[in-house]
Structure 1
């Protein structure tokens, strides 16, 4: 170990979440050594000597982002996303995200939950940033408890299940209940894609019978009620089993309110939303390119979007994740005539930081500390990711420097996600990263991107309650 630090970020305003246990805001020099934060020195003191010094005067320094909901190289039916871990991790770093959490979702009935995760772990060896994984269970059999034990031993402490997508990824109620019991036993977290399948199936069939099944009608086939009924049912199962539960991509204030009520009743329940639900509404399906917005749940009414942003600003939403799915327009346009046969999902890992910052801070008056909570600290804490999400001594040196007043327009063609569009094309946004440090390496600065090669580490996560209790002890 060299006596001279590798890097010092000098004179920056360091911002942490108010829930992190670290000072929420301080002027400091950040000393980086061996990929970790070695020390924070008061900015009134001289800048420590280092192999490299970056002057962050007048700028904010926040923890590197943690995107808890990414789909990389995902196979769904006959469609495969066009990215790989090299592409998506590079795009993540361009966007200020230094850790992504992907899903091992079985491709078909022949691939087991364990095999799906191990396959993703092998593919993640090409990642430029750190990677953790979620598991997924579609159907129950007698091997599932053993498989979940093996996943826990691999540091995979969460399992996602879908309450819709009949015939592909949907898990029935019995499976969800049994998996929840196992996750309690293994100190894990149950992830849920909550949309009521019977309502969606019937609504979609009714629209198809009326000839209203093209992409322009997507938002009408998946009503808000379907999401909220599914959240309510799932919360009942979670209460019955005692399982902590995390709802992905919540798109309605009603769904968020159900989680808030459950938390007030003592349940461990969490709400995630995505940048597109905070900034885009269902009028996009009447534009020239409605296929740019094919995702499930779909965009909601302007009134719903406004109310969802209010919930975010009030702290009722715990994380903002991208739900990144990298299809291109040629795939999207194969079956715009019938939403039942087109791929759903949007590219967003690179734009998560500026879209979320703009929605929460610029437009809604939230604080930068609030932004850090949903962008980095909350995802780290809830997903039990060790040494992430906070700028403090001993934590990983994952850091982002930016000027909150700088504004840029989204240019989909200039992004790095391996696709040919962005749903945020042309939007003026604040909160773009100027410098990104990942595991102590400067990967983005004024000279551009510096590809570190496949150095991203696989991150084994802690048990859910064990991590929570350890943090509570440290904070006390």
Structure 2
């Protein structure tokens, strides 16, 4: 091919989850055409960006985002344009949202198709999870239709009775269907009877305000739910993925199941690695209203140990874009306020800092960060073309200097809300250049809105994808 490539990222330290090399990345038609050793001259291109020895990693894959989410009487304030823009500002080039039925009349299929239509305005690539709340005879057909659409995972909640909670029979039946359809079962694991009883006891005692949130949802509730769900997954032979695990005990249960041969995965979120339950005694406890809640400092330290040991497979934002006016409507009663935190834009620096800061026990490798930020979410969620810098993969790239530090200013972020739970924290790992599908969307000149250029990404079958990628790690030179 004689024409010049569209873009060359020259002289970068290319970091994948499996190693690194000093190379030029050649991009054509939205994909990586080749990597050329930096000892060779960079080819001429329509545009060349000199990484100048900085780190170049795959664009992030955030496997757990809620966009324009309706829960009860609350709706998050964002849309796909806002959240995808914030994702790109934060080095994430693919988000996976949820089609969760907004009420009892909306079917799982309709919920996904609605989100797919909204996603036409996205600036970055989008994939979707389905969700089932209650079983009926149409669910198997609906799940077949979702699989045909490229939606190969279904989320279910073991809590939130009366809204999104699925009972045990529904979870078991959906797991069977996901095995049949080569899909992945997503689980929000908190034991509803324990949480309901504990919350009611606190309400009876007049301790139901936001400052008591962490006391109403004990660690035991999470771990018992994980244990029960793993038993159902073992029985049905269903691959299972646990969202936002907040305790080392929950992670250990998944690790033990994996040691017995189960296909089970642990996700956590940046806030569970960096914030503890002392925030509920702060001046603004409503900034931290999420479920599960923040845990004790000892639990946070132990969770970071599990991350360093490789027992946590992905880190996702669980992005939910409420603002402070919504949060403050009912701080007197946690049962009546919306739960969820904005975080798609800060996932990269908060995670990177937590993993790399030796003062906090991180001492991680950048390769391990790439695994939980991009490669692992892409592989486990069977998202083709993502999470790796290699020939044939999508040209989703991030350049950054790990030594550069910035302080979080919630008002200066781009998530469509007026706060960040990480306000005032000094973090490293912010993106300097972001390339999405071959387009430079962020550089020294600022953000370049690509318009509604995001693509819907149809995902592969779970086991099909794992088998195809198991032995396909690209060869790289020795680690620098």
* Mapped contact 1:326–1:346 kept (Cα < 8 A): yes
SS in 1 for 2:307: helix
Q: 2-side partners of 1:266 and 1:464: how far apart?
A: 16
- Which residue number corresponds to residue 469 of structure 2? 471
Q: 2-side partners of 1:100 and 1:214: how far apart?
A: 33
- Which residue number corresponds to residue 235 of structure 1? 230
Q: 2-side partners of 1:473 and 1:71: how far apart?
A: 33
Deviation, 1:162, is 0.1
Q: 1-side partners of 2:195 and 2:2: how far apart?
A: 60
* Mapped contact 1:362–1:430 kept (Cα < 8 A): no
Cα distance per residue 1:149-200 (max 9 Å; x no partner): 0000000000000000000000000000000000000000000000000000
Which of 241, 246, 250 is residue 251 of structure 1 equivalent to? Answer: 246
Q: 2-side partners of 1:466 and 1:10: how far apart?
A: 35
Once the two structures are superposed, the pairs formed by residues 394-413 of structure 1 within 5 Å of their partners are 394-413=392-411
- Which residue number corresponds to residue 337 of structure 1? 332
SS in 2 for 1:258: helix
- Which residue number corresponds to residue 203 of structure 2? 208
Q: Which runs of 4+ in 1 moved over 3 A?
A: none
SS in 1 for 2:328: helix
SS in 2 for 1:206: helix
Cα distance per residue 1:366-407 (max 9 Å; x no partner): 100000000000000000000100000000000000000001
Q: 2-side partners of 1:430 and 1:365: how far apart?
A: 14
Deviation, 1:2, is 7.0
Matched, 1:111 2:106: yes
Q: 2-side partners of 1:159 and 1:282: how far apart?
A: 30
Q: 1-side partners of 2:308 and 2:408: how far apart?
A: 23
Cα RMSD after superposing both structures: 0.8
Cα distance per residue 1:15-48 (max 9 Å; x no partner): 0002xxxxx1000000000000001000000111
- Which residue number corresponds to residue 5 of structure 1? 5
Which of 156, 164, 172 is residue 167 of structure 2 equivalent to? Answer: 172
- Which residue number corresponds to residue 370 of structure 2? 372
Matched, 1:43 2:38: yes
- Which residue number corresponds to residue 161 of structure 1? 156
Which of 455, 458, 475 is residue 457 of structure 1 equivalent to? Answer: 455
In the alignment of these two chains, the number of paired residues is 471
SS in 2 for 1:423: coil
- Which residue number corresponds to residue 54 of structure 1? 49
Matched, 1:90 2:85: yes
- Which residue number corresponds to residue 128 of structure 1? 123
SS in 1 for 2:35: strand
SS in 2 for 1:460: coil
Once the two structures are superposed, the pairs formed by residues 426-441 of structure 1 within 5 Å of their partners are 426-441=424-439
Q: 2-side partners of 1:474 and 1:13: how far apart?
A: 21
Cα distance per residue 1:415-456 (max 9 Å; x no partner): 000000000000000100000000000000000000000000
Deviation, 1:362, is 2.2
Q: 1-side partners of 2:157 and 2:348: how far apart?
A: 27
Matched, 1:422 2:420: yes
* Mapped contact 1:70–1:322 kept (Cα < 8 A): yes
Q: 2-side partners of 1:212 and 1:253: how far apart?
A: 27
Deviation, 1:57, is 1.1
- Which residue number corresponds to residue 296 of structure 2? 301
- Which residue number corresponds to residue 99 of structure 1? 94
Which of 351, 358, 367 is residue 353 of structure 2 equivalent to? Answer: 358
The runs of 5 or more residues in structure 2 that have no matched partner are 475-480
Deviation, 1:58, is 2.5
Q: 1-side partners of 2:63 and 2:434: how far apart?
A: 19
* Mapped contact 1:130–1:457 kept (Cα < 8 A): yes
Q: TM-score normalized by structure 1?
A: 0.98
Q: 2-side partners of 1:373 and 1:348: how far apart?
A: 19
Q: TM-score normalized by structure 2?
A: 0.97
Deviates more, 1:163-172 or 1:354-363: 354-363
* Mapped contact 1:58–1:403 kept (Cα < 8 A): no
* Mapped contact 1:329–1:420 kept (Cα < 8 A): yes
Q: 2-side partners of 1:382 and 1:74: how far apart?
A: 24
The runs of 5 or more residues in structure 1 that have no matched partner are 19-23
